[in-house]
């Protein structure tokens, strides 16, 4: 089999799509105006921002004034949590519920809020990585101001029962935030059926550039001031808008949210072919759920191998993959998500995450199924 280049790390970041790139270009060149300027160049830019906001709102079933642009998923997560915490503190409600498998943008904001006197409950998850709704119900208290549960996990792809959780939160009058960064484009998102008050999305995971994202906040949700300055984003997130990136994001969100069924029907069989093939290797274990899983996510642990060496050797063979999440793979500590699902330390360190998308082909899968077992065997004999 001929050597190929296979990018299978789409949960770390994606290629900017041609349409998103084209959407950004006019705002880097002829339409370079500042959206706050009232002349024609300014108006062209402000129209682009409004149009992107409208397209995003339509794609997720929101209203145009419920979409706030941010620098990405991390900022949207920070903003949601800090907002709910500030509003909660005013009513002496300083308890937050989240899960042990959230992205660090949520977990480390919770850690920060703990230093300000908030109490945080980190819910455990099942061995498949799913939070138990009854556990959440029991954790809700009179002083709970926020529940934050991700829609899909970025490492093991598990889908969380967020709409069920929203019913409990509504009954209790508790704000609900969901990090939808790893879910958008893989699952239909309608903020009304989901019932979340706040939802975070990042551009670069769905073929927009890095450094752009948005926070959906339902009308009436108390948002704090994230950046003080001018009147952008209703005066809550000041700073001249990143117009080219916003235009690209509008296009990328539209593309991500259209034909999801067709994409699922293309990607899921490829993912299953990859999982089934890799599980034939001796000492291979699937992390996460077989069914409650995003379409492109594969996460498998191999006994007796070290993640970093596996990634480097795969790279030499043209395969871009990841071990744990990109944010934690620099550190030697096993991923907090794999730890939370009870994956033992040595297996957690031998984990391989492959995240494929609509750009991958069956030929890519066959290539990975040939190369990966060879690499595993080689690494085991080198030990």
Ligand X SMILES: *Cc1c(COP(=O)(O)O)cnc(C)c1O
Active-site residue set: 327
- Using CB under 6 A as the binding rule, whether residue 96 contacts ligand X is answered as no
The answer to whether residue 293 forms part of the interface with ligand X (CB under 6 A) is no
CA distance 35 to 248: 16
Cβ contacts of 198 within 8 Å, gap of 6 or more? 80, 83, 84, 175, 176, 177, 178, 215, 216, 217, 218, 221
Q: Would you mind telling me the total number of residues written for the chain in this entry? A: 383
Least distance (Å) between residue 151 CB and ligand X: 9
**Closest Cα to residue 180, out of 213, 145, 210, 218?**
213
- Write out the DSSP string of 62-104: --GGGEEEESSHHHHHHHHHHHHHHHHHHTT--EEEEETTS-H
Write the CB contacts of 115 (distance below 8 Å, at least 6 apart in sequence). none
- 165 neighbors 136 (Cβ within 8 angstroms): yes
Among 45, 49, 105, 168, which residue interacts with ligand X (rule: CB under 6 A)? 105
State which residue has the least CB distance to ligand X.
73
Task: Give the range of 1-9, 17-25, 69-77, 231-239 binding ligand X by CB under 6 A.
Answer: 69-77
Q: What is the 3-state secondary structure (H, E, C) of 348-359?
A: HHCEEEEECCCC
Which of the ranges 45-53, 68-76, 264-272, 278-286 carries the binding residues for ligand X, by CB under 6 A?
68-76
Minimum distance, C-beta of residue 203 to ligand X, in the bound complex (Å): 7
| Interaction residues for ligand X, span 302-361 (CB under 6 A) | none
What's the rounded Cα separation, in Å, for the pair 62 and 190?
8
Q: Least distance in Å: CB of 213 to ligand X?
A: 5
Q: Supply the minimum distance, in Å, between the C-beta of residue 3 and ligand X.
A: 30
**Does residue 149 bind ligand X (CB under 6 A)?**
no
Report how far residue 212's alpha carbon sits from residue 71's, in angstroms, rounded to the nearest whole number. 4
> What tokens appear for 163 in the block?
């709409």
CB-nearer residue toward ligand X: 166 or 355: 355
Q: Counting contacts by CB under 6 A, is residue 179 touching ligand X?
A: yes
Euclidean distance between CA atoms 71 and 59, whole angstroms: 20
Q: CB-wise, 59 or 249, nearer to ligand X? A: 249
Residues 70-89 that bind ligand X (CB under 6 A): 72-74, 77
CB 243, min distance to ligand X, A: 18
The reply to whether 182 sits near ligand X by the rule CB under 6 A is yes
State which residue, 148 or 264, has the beta carbon closest to ligand X: 148
Contact letters for ligand X, residues 196-235 (x by CB under 6 A): ------x-xx-------x----------------------
CA 21 from chain centre, in angstroms, equals 21
Give the Cα separation of 380 and 310 in Å (integer): 10
Question: Does residue 39 sit in helix, strand or coil?
Answer: coil
Binding of ligand X at residue 181 (CB under 6 A)? yes
Q: Can you give the binding site for ligand X, defined by CB under 6 A? A: 72-74, 77, 103, 105, 150, 154, 179, 181-182, 202, 204-205, 213
């Amino acid at each position: 089999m001929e050597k190929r280049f296979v990018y299978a790390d789409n949960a770390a970041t994606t290629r900017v799509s041609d349409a998103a790139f084209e959407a950004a270009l006019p705002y880097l060149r002829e339409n370079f105006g500042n959206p706050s300027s009232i002349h024609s160049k300014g108006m062209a830019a402000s129209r682009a921002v409004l149009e992107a906001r409208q397209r995003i709102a339509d794609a997720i079933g929101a209203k145009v004034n419920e979409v706030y642009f941010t620098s990405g998923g991390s900022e949207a997560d920070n903003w949601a949590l800090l907002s709910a915490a500030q509003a909660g503190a005013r009513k002496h409600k300083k308890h937050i519920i989240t899960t042990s498998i959230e992205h660090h943008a949520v977990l480390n904001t919770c850690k920060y809020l703990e230093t300000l006197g908030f109490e945080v409950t980190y819910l455990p998850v099942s061995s498949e990585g799913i939070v138990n709704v009854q556990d959440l119900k029991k954790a809700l208290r009179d002083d709970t101001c926020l529940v934050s549960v991700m829609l899909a996990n970025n490492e093991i792809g598990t889908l969380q029962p967020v709409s069920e959780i929203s019913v409990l939160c509504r009954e209790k009058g508790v704000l609900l935030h969901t990090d939808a960064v790893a879910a958008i484009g893989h699952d239909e998102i309608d903020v009304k059926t989901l019932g979340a008050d706040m939802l975070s999305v990042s551009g670069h995971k769905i073929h927009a550039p890095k450094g752009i994202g948005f926070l959906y906040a339902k009308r009436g949700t108390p948002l704090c001031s994230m950046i003080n300055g001018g009147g952008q984003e209703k005066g809550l997130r000041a700073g001249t808008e990143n117009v080219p990136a916003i235009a690209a994001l509008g296009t990328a969100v539209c593309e991500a949210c259209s034909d999801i069924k067709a994409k699922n029907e293309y990607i899921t069989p490829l993912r299953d072919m990859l999982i089934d093939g890799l599980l034939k290797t001796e000492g291979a274990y699937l992390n996460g759920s077989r069914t409650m899983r995003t379409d492109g996510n594969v996460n498998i642990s191999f006994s007796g191998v070290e993640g970093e060496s596996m990634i480097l050797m795969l790279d030499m063979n043209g395969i871009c993959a990841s071990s744990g999440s990109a944010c934690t793979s620099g550190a030697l500590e096993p991923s907090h998500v794999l730890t939370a699902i009870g994956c033992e330390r040595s297996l957690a360190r031998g984990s391989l995450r492959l995240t494929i998308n609509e750009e991958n082909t069956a030929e890519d899968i066959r290539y990975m199924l040939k190369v990966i077992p060879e690499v595993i065997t080689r690494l085991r004999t080198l030990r």
